[in-house]
Amino acid sequence: MPASNAIASVHSALERVRAERPLVHNITNFVVMNVTANALLALGASPVMAHAPEEVEELAALAGALVLNIGTLSGPWVGSMLLAGRAAAGRGVPVVLDPVGAGASRMRTRTTLDLLHEVRPAILRGNASEILAVAGALDAVDSARLEAIMAGAGATRGVDSAHSGRGVEEVARAVARAAGCVVVVSGAVDTVADARRTAFVSGGSELMTLVTGMGCTATALTGAFAAVVPDPFEAAVAGMAVMSAAGGAAAARSQGPGGMQAQFLDTLYTLDRADLEAQVRVEG
């Protein structure tokens, strides 16, 4: 779609979150719980954080969306994610999965696969190394081709660079087809893909990579959009566009990664259509 329509659609999704204040149930990691709860509040959503097996099904069923994030995971938390994820899926509550650290340990990769199979999330959002690991584990991309893409990524100092964009798009599409969900690969340019569509979201700031939990925040905000926007592809584009807009505008007003945290929330709180148009480009 033309860029101006894309921004209009992001802005309309933002207005819906603010009007509907969807309840977003998060089973997420200890590092970012405070940060993602605050980002959801600043966006206009209502976060709830809960992980006990005794209550997660009840809460996931009440929620507009469920966000599962495997940072600082442990066996019991994975069990709760499966319980909550099945309860959500069984009632049509969209699930957004963040495979933090997939590829860094066997447990993270295996948990990601288990959640993809058992919960069938609507959206999977990770950085390039996480999505490449998922692609490998799912056999979604021929292994020789995957190695070539990874090597290209390495050669260009991170798969986020323009040079490796084509490889990332290919991997995102392949994982989307294999897992049956929308796939987001975050980077300097974010790639959003499902089996038939691709969009690229650019904006944001390098400074975002020096604040812990910015990726997890992107996933949480995407959860809020998935609660109010029926098409998960459109919800994912809205999530990434709002992150880029708030991150870019906040970085421009910050001295460093400390001040950036408060600026990010303040910017998110007042974000309007002009900010989106000034800060983000959506193509696809």
Which residue ranges make up the site for its own copies (CB under 8 A)?
29-35, 37-38, 41-42, 47-52, 54-55, 58-59, 62, 71-76, 101, 104-108, 210-213, 254-259, 261-267, 269-270
CB-nearer residue toward its own copies: 198 or 212: 212
Q: Report the nearest approach of its own copies to the CB of residue 6 (Å).
A: 26
CB-nearer residue toward its own copies: 104 or 278: 104
Q: How does DSSP classify residue 206?
A: G
Q: Report the nearest approach of its own copies to the CB of residue 47 (Å).
A: 7
Q: Report the nearest approach of its own copies to the CB of residue 99 (Å).
A: 14
Q: Report the nearest approach of its own copies to the CB of residue 193 (Å).
A: 27
CB-nearer residue toward its own copies: 141 or 268: 268
Residues 6+ apart with CB under 8 A from 121: 68, 85, 94, 95, 96, 97, 115, 179, 181
Q: Report the nearest approach of its own copies to the CB of residue 33 (Å).
A: 5
Measuring CA to CA, which residue among 129, 131, 240 is closest to residue 181? 131
CB-nearer residue toward its own copies: 89 or 265: 265
Pairing of strands 198-202, 281-283: antiparallel
CB-nearer residue toward its own copies: 124 or 208: 208
Which tokens belong to 115?
């959640």
CA separation (Å) from 10 to 53, 124, 241? 35, 19, 7
Q: Report the nearest approach of its own copies to the CB of residue 101 (Å).
A: 7
CA separation (Å) from 29 to 86, 95, 109? 19, 16, 16
Listing from the earlier edge strand, what are the strands of the sheet with 182-186? 46-49, 23-27, 65-69, 95-98, 123-127, 182-186, 189-193, 198-202, 281-283
CB-nearer residue toward its own copies: 74 or 143: 74
CB-nearer residue toward its own copies: 202 or 267: 267
Q: Give, in degrees to the nearest 5, the angle at Cα 225 between 72 and 128.
A: 50
Q: Report the nearest approach of its own copies to the CB of residue 34 (Å).
A: 5
CB-nearer residue toward its own copies: 165 or 247: 247
Q: Report the nearest approach of its own copies to the CB of residue 106 (Å).
A: 7
Residue type, 171: V
Which tokens belong to 232?
């998960």
Residues 6+ apart with CB under 8 A from 254: 207, 260, 263
Residue 69 and residue 102 in contact, taking contact as beta carbons nearer than 8 Å: no
- Local structure of 228: helix, strand or coil: helix
